[in-house]
Amino acid sequence: MASLTRWRPFFICNLFKPTASYSCLHRRHRHDHVVSARRSALLDRVLRVDHAGEVGADMIYAGQLAVLGNSKVGPVIQEMRDQEVHHRVTFERLIRQHRARPTVLLPLWNVAGFCLGAATALLGSRAAMACTVAVEETIGQHYNNQIREIMEQHPGEPEFKELLHTIKQFRDEELEHLETGIEYEAELAPAYKALKAVIQTGCKGAIWISEKI
Ligand SMILES: [Fe+2]
Ligand SMILES: [Fe+2]
């Protein structure tokens, strides 16, 4: 009887040991799964909206060039468009690389971007530059928000290394476009503040919806 009492803790330990380690492994596996799903969801969302934005930006400059291509601001707009094409192509590659899903609204952003660029250019080169200021300021803020989100949620993770580097570089280039717009007298455009506010509201709506569908 005495020996049975002595052995009981041993039996109990062995009875619960495998259960405990299984539960621990299970919990760890679930945690890894949750982290990986969160990482994929963030990558998917970031790549979809950034690609959509760069398609829109490319088309805005294409619309401006259709109207102002032969004017004195033509070469400046062309230079900015060349960078937007590079941004768009880079996100197309990253989308394929990470198997993200592009937005279903791409045809809409193609048409809307071109129309916005052409319409503002028809109001004159200052209005075209006001459009540039409005769009690039919004994209710059959007990229800064993404950089903050990635660095807070996935610090140092290799999956985000290239993406972070890309977003930082493109953010800097968008802010250069913004400065170009100011330099070419965007602020002297007719109804500058109202025009900027309307375009920025549209851009924020486009960002919001492109993150989702
Ligand atoms: Fe861009
Ligand atoms: Fe830009």
pLDDT digits (tens, 9 = 90+) for 70-99: 999 999 999 999 999 999 999 999 999 999
Q: Which structure tokens are listed for 109?
A: 């952003």
pTM of the complete model: 0.84
Structural domain boundaries in the chain: 40-212
Helical pair 161-183 and 74-97, crossing angle rounded to 10 deg: 160
Distance of CA 72 to the CA centre of its chain: 32
Side-chain half-sphere of 103: how many Cα atoms within 13 Å? 27
**What mean pLDDT comes out for the span 123-127?**
97
User: Residue 77 CA: which ligand is closest?
Assistant: 2
Q: Which CATH class is domain 40-212?
A: mainly alpha
Annotated binding residues for Fe cation:
54, 84, 87, 136, 174, 177
Annotated binding residues:
54, 84, 87, 136, 174, 177
DSSP H or E run through 91: helix 74-97
What are the φ/ψ torsions at residue 101 (nearest 5 degrees)? Answer: -105, 125
Torsion over CA: 52, 55, 56, 57 (sign) = positive
Summarize pLDDT for 14-68 with one digit per residue, the tens.
Answer: 555 555 566 777 777 777 788 788 889 999 999 999 999 999 999 999 999 999 9
User: Residue 170 CA: which ligand is closest?
Assistant: 1
Concatenated DSSP letters of 16-46: HHHHHHHHHHHHHHHHHHHHHHHHHHHHHHH
